[in-house]
Structure 1
Amino acid sequence: MRGSSLSIVVPVYNESDNLRHFHAAICEEMAKLDYDWELIFVNDGSTDNSKEILLELEQQDSHVQPIFLAKNSGHQLALTCGLDHADGDAVITMDGDMQHPPALIPTLLDYWNQGYDIVQTIREATEDASWLKKLTSAGYYKLLNIISEVPVQPGGSDFRLMDHQAVVAFRHYREHARFIRGIIGSMGFNQIQVHFTAPPRFAGVSKFSPKKMLRLAVDGVFTCSTFPLRIGLYAGVASMFASFLLILHVLYETFVQEATVAGWPSIMACILFFGGMQLLVLGLIGEYLGRTYEETKRRPLYLIERGKPRDQNNRSAISKEERL
């Protein structure tokens, strides 16, 4: 085998109804495999009794290594925290609602043992997804790949295996507004894809509200592409062309038709059109400047209330200060 240890990283936010079932499913799969393994749950400021259940599982199973964040930091930063503290020769990230099937773990490990550094799963369909979600997801990824400088696989999920070398490389990406799927796509390494159909959640409802989905989608666009900044250039060219046509129209009405044209509608149309274009461009520039401002503050990506009990720092490529 390529390596002998495996870390499984699972972000947790109000998943109390799923945790015990998910843990049992992981244990069932790992019992079939000959690996030293750890199950890192990153409790992302849950407000239900997820923390109590994780402490209980920790007492019952030495493989369980929970990390408790001091506040809700978001799914992507919770995943980042888990990857920062994972010590396995291979690391699998997945959600704990059973929509990332634990039964796929042996398949991911088989590809890893064949020499692949990143094994990315591709969600072909979700059994309980609405037609609207499928439509918007397909449209978003198509648009993102048109404007993005890095490839983002449609249907790509945060269920993947990464070799330790790839994890160390990932730890150098420290931006706050992060879209991990885009980061992984930009890293290179020897990658392969595994397709699967996501089953319905075991219990509860998705904690990814429309607002969070929209925020992740926006982060994906602004993280992977500078195309929105170029919209100002394209809009400026279009505005100049429209203005040129308007001037020709005014000259034609004045010298050819010799018609009296009221000036107020034309003036108002010009003010509204060009004023709107200016606001659009300023808004796009402001979005990038705001993100630059956030990065220059160099605030911690996340804060840990209690770290992994069996934390080994010797394999990490970053310091403890950078992990905070």
Structure 2
Amino acid sequence: MPARRLPTLEDVAARAGVSRATASRAVNLDPRVRAQSRIAVEAAVTELGYRPNRAARSLVNQEVDSIAVVVPEAEDRVFADPFFAAMLASITQRLADSPVQVLLAMGQPGGRQKIERYLRGGYTDGAIIVSHHRDDDLSDVIHETKLPAVYVGRPYAGDVGIPWVDVDNNSGAALAAEHLISQGRRRLATIAGPQDMAAGSDRLAGWTAALQRAGLDSGLVEFGDFTSASGAVAMERLLERAPDLDAVFVASDLMAVAAMHEVQSRGISVPEQIAVVGFDDTHAAQLTRPPLTTVINPVGELAGRAVDLLLQLMQGDSVDPVVLQTAMVKRTSG
């Protein structure tokens, strides 16, 4: 069922029988508005359920009260994945010396009505949207409400008219492939991320292209959803399909740690028999035995650039997408 369109100031003016300018002055308590007009506007506001747009007001007053970090994922995943914790902490730290409050809005995929109602309700001055999927319609809400917003991660659909900041996932995955190939690994597999997310599809594309350039088989692919459990299941399937594989690139550290445990539980040594490389460089990558070789996902810089872009938008500036480069952290798992 489509969300009900929120009443606009134009609707209020039409219901009250006044101009938009008069309605705006009445809503903002301008003492120059005649009593008759003010009463009519107040009645229209009550009847229509109109809420002033905080974002528009912040542009006028140059005052930002709050920013929402929007994560359209289930709560259990948000709290279990260190990427989200690091992102939220970095955004909060970036704004620590300002009066801006950071709010967190989460929502189970397929049931994001609460997030939509929150964004439409004018409760925040801007939004940073993290971990969005192909079927998310949050960009529609952003455009309809004219709420300043920035994506962390390239939108799956490409240019949706909303700025974004991302790491070069394609090149990062290619780095992982080239590293493993340079070690003499020839039977390579990957545990890819969800293909309804740009990060998942870009990392698989970069890996596949690098293997094909080297003349190697790129068909050993299993898919996870960036959770630990999915990494273990995908690794189990790969071992069943290709007992002779000698390297695996896993599209997130959380999945990679679980994949490594699955390998080691079968008595297979890492990296002597199977090399393992992850993506993200989370704290968990340093705690595995052996420590996890991984591709850096610069969460702190992503968060900082996202905040900067959003604040520029709120000041009325135009901004362009930002793509950050990455590198590998070579430890001893692969």
TM-score (norm 2): 0.26
Hey, which of these two has a bigger chunk of helix by percent? 1
- Greater relative contact order (Cα 8 A, min sep 6): structure 1 or 2? 1
* TM-score, normalisation: structure 1: 0.26
